[in-house]
Amino acid sequence: MSQTDDWVLLAYRLPRVPSTPRSAVWRKLKRLGVAQLGDGLVALPADARTREQLEWVAEDVTDHGGEATLWLGRPLDANARSAVVSRMTAAVAAEYEAVAAEAAAARTADPGARHRVAARLRRELHRIQGRDFFRCPQFDAARRAVETLAATNPAGIPA
Amino acid sequence: MKWATRPGVHVDRAACAWLIRRFVDHDAEFVFPADLAAIPPDATPFDVRGAALGHHLGRCSFETALASFGLTDDPALEEIGHIIHEADLADERYDAPAAAGLDILIRGLTLTSRSDHDTLKITDRLFDGLYEHTRRQLITGRPPA
């Protein structure tokens, strides 16, 4: 998060039909981990990377005949801000917990499957980390679970 | 010719600059105005919003540039396009394991470079090497030793 608590905001409008570009844009925004502030208004903590990410989504929107503008803003309502941050953190925490649970469940699988699951979950963790703007504490447990799975020997006991 | 992009170049802009200098305009001059309105009228903008050489229809600027410069019949450049796409957008459209490392290296380079020109000096060498590596791999079907 930036020192000044700047947020980059994307206000966008896309035609309802066809629906494919709309869902493609929404999937992109979800992957970036945006906070939805309203209908067609999303935000991310501002830094060089998030600004650029939203700039390109804006370009996508206009490429598909929509309208998009980018804004840099600062929350004036501390409670509203922490509600938004809590929502973002909870979403990321749930993703980390799902990874941890899947890693724990795979511990008794055969070695080949364990290895494959661990490799996939490592990638998944990287993806989630990309949208974890507030250093969600659940990351550590999820990472431990995946690394334990990767190191588990055939008897199902962590090496 | 003069070419303009945003300052603080990262992977997509660095790759475009390399492509331009190596395949399009050997004497390319790059400028990095912080304000898009300050792009000189005689400069071609790239990797900025609203430019023809930008992100379009899910492609990163480097991929757009390949099509726009008519360089799509070089399979090594196409492969590099996939790497740049994943380094820049990470949407898993392509299988490009080199992307993650390239992203980190160029981000780190940007943090320590004195200027964008300074960054490009190093990334030009980096992309020359990546191009050669990719080209040889395509010829032999194996990563070069």
Alpha helices in chain B (DSSP H): 11-19, 61-68, 75-89, 98-112, 116-140
pLDDT of residue B49: 87
Are the beta carbons of B56 and A130 separated by less than 8 Å? no
Task: Give the distance from residue A80's alpha carbon to the nearest chain B alpha carbon, in angstroms.
Answer: 30
Query: Among candidates A59, A132, A125, which has minimal Cα distance to A92?
Result: A132
Closest residue in A to B61 (Cα–Cα)? A56
Mean pLDDT across chain B: 95
Are the beta carbons of B54 and A130 separated by less than 8 Å? no
Is pLDDT at A2 greater than 80 in this prediction? no
Mean pLDDT across chain A: 92
Three-state SS at A13: strand
Question: pLDDT for B68-84, tens place per residue?
Answer: 999 999 999 999 999 99
Point out the residue among B57, B90, B100 whose CB comes nearest to the CB of A63. Answer: B57
Question: pLDDT for A6-47, tens place per residue?
Answer: 999 999 999 988 889 999 999 999 999 999 999 999 999 999
Q: In the structure, what pLDDT confidence band is assigned to residue B64 with cuts at 50, 70 and 90?
A: very high
Q: Is B36 on the interface with A (CB under 8 A)?
A: no
Question: pLDDT for A86-130, tens place per residue?
Answer: 999 999 999 999 999 999 999 999 999 999 999 999 999 999 999
pLDDT of residue A1: 44
- The Cα–Cα gap between B124 and A157 comes to 49
Please provide the distance, in angstroms rounded to a whole number, between the alpha carbons at the two ends of chain A. 37
Which residues lie closer than 8 Å to B7 by C-beta, 6 or more apart? B32, B33, B34, B116
Task: Give the distance from residue A17's alpha carbon to the nearest chain B alpha carbon, in angstroms.
Answer: 17
Contact A103, A119 (CB under 8 A): no
Q: Which positions in chain B touch A55 (Cβ < 8 Å)?
A: 49
Q: Tokens representing B35? A: 């304000």
Alpha-carbon B43 to chain mean position: 18
Contact B53, B64 (CB under 8 A): yes
Q: In the structure, what pLDDT confidence band is assigned to residue B92 with cuts at 50, 70 and 90?
A: confident
Are the beta carbons of B56 and A63 separated by less than 8 Å? yes
**Number of Cβ pairs closer than 8 Å across A and B?**
23
Query: Among candidates A131, A150, A138, A62, which has minimal Cα distance to B91?
Result: A131
Tokens 């430019």, residue located: B51
Q: What percent of chain A has pLDDT over 90?
A: 84
Which residues lie closer than 8 Å to B124 by C-beta, 6 or more apart? B17, B18, B21, B22
Q: In the structure, what pLDDT confidence band is assigned to residue A153 with cuts at 50, 70 and 90?
A: low
Q: What percent of chain A has pLDDT over 70?
A: 94
Is pLDDT at A152 greater than 80 in this prediction? no
Question: pLDDT for B114-141, tens place per residue?
Answer: 999 999 999 999 999 999 999 999 999 8
